[in-house]
Amino acid sequence: MKTTAAFFDVDGTLTTERVWRGVLDYYKANGKRTWTLLQYWAYHMPLYLLHSVGLLSQSAFRTPWAAHLMWFLRGDTPEQAQPVWDWVTTEYMQGLWRAEGLDKIMEHKAKGHLLVLVSAGPQPLVERIARELGADMAVGTKPAMHKGRYTGGVDGMVSIDENKASLARAALASQKIDVDFDASWAYADGSTDVGLLEMAGHPVAFFPDEFLKPIALERGWPVVE
């Protein structure tokens, strides 16, 4: 028998603030990776400015933004990086969870649906958030590793745009979970989530940004604001 799933983006959907900020705040608050922080902002602020004036697409802006979060992990073991994910989930996110998103999580859980978080964030962070919220699966951007330590790069694809759907399908297949996608739900807030929304028979533009909202209205998707 096929499983009905509920797929949730994280940033802006389940939260009112971007989770990646928590990663940067952790290192800033603890006085760690200062040079990496400077490099990160020096690289990405010009991209942000180009994006803000419409010269760079959401995808072109957000893809390296997500990929380069892995810079902060360079040289660490998964055990050494674990305090980052714990702090972001239990400290930074306090008061930043979107109540409507958490209500949807509980609603689908009560119906026995498979809960899958799908985010551009680092896979270990998405897994930690999934444990916190009681979700069944987590799909994120996988950090590259060599000899048990993070390299600072990405293993495979950044979980954004069409990759969100591809990685979610691959994760389900690896667990041999047969999902009825036509009966399933997807909740997301940005245009880089369109691939995820298209995957489900019941896509919902959940507190959509200025880029997703017109797409949702054009396609007749429900909009929650």
Helix (H, G, I), strand (E, B) or coil at 81: helix
- 218, burial (CB in 10 Å: exposed 0-12, middle 13-18, buried 19+): exposed
CB 186 within 8 A of CB 199: yes
CB 137 within 8 A of CB 126: no
Residues 106, 133: Cα–Cα separation, whole Å:
9
Residues 29, 51: Cα–Cα separation, whole Å:
28
- The residues spanned by each domain of the chain are 5-224
Strand bridging mode 143-146 / 149-154: antiparallel
Residues 6 or more apart in contact with residue 70 via CB below 8 angstroms: 122, 141, 143, 144, 150, 151, 152, 153, 154
Residues 125, 86: Cα–Cα separation, whole Å:
8
Provide the CATH number for the domain formed by 5-224 in this structure: 3.40.50.1000
Q: Which residues pair with 179 in a beta bridge?
A: 3
Q: Comparing C-alpha atoms, which of 25, 187, 172 is closest to residue 92?
A: 25
The token duo for 184 is 């399933």
Q: pLDDT at position 1, please?
A: 84
Helix (H, G, I), strand (E, B) or coil at 21: helix
The token duo for 75 is 């040289």
Mean pLDDT by 10 residues, the chain (225 residues): 96 94 95 97 95 91 95 98 98 96 97 98 98 98 98 97 97 97 98 96 97 96 96
Q: Comparing C-alpha atoms, which of 135, 134, 133, 153 is closest to residue 143?
A: 153
Q: pLDDT at position 30, please?
A: 95
Q: Comparing C-alpha atoms, which of 102, 76, 111, 88 is closest to residue 25?
A: 88
CB 6 within 8 A of CB 106: no
Helix (H, G, I), strand (E, B) or coil at 123: helix
Q: Torsions phi, psi of 15, nearest 5?
A: -130, 160
pTM greater than the 0.75 cutoff: yes
Helix (H, G, I), strand (E, B) or coil at 68: helix
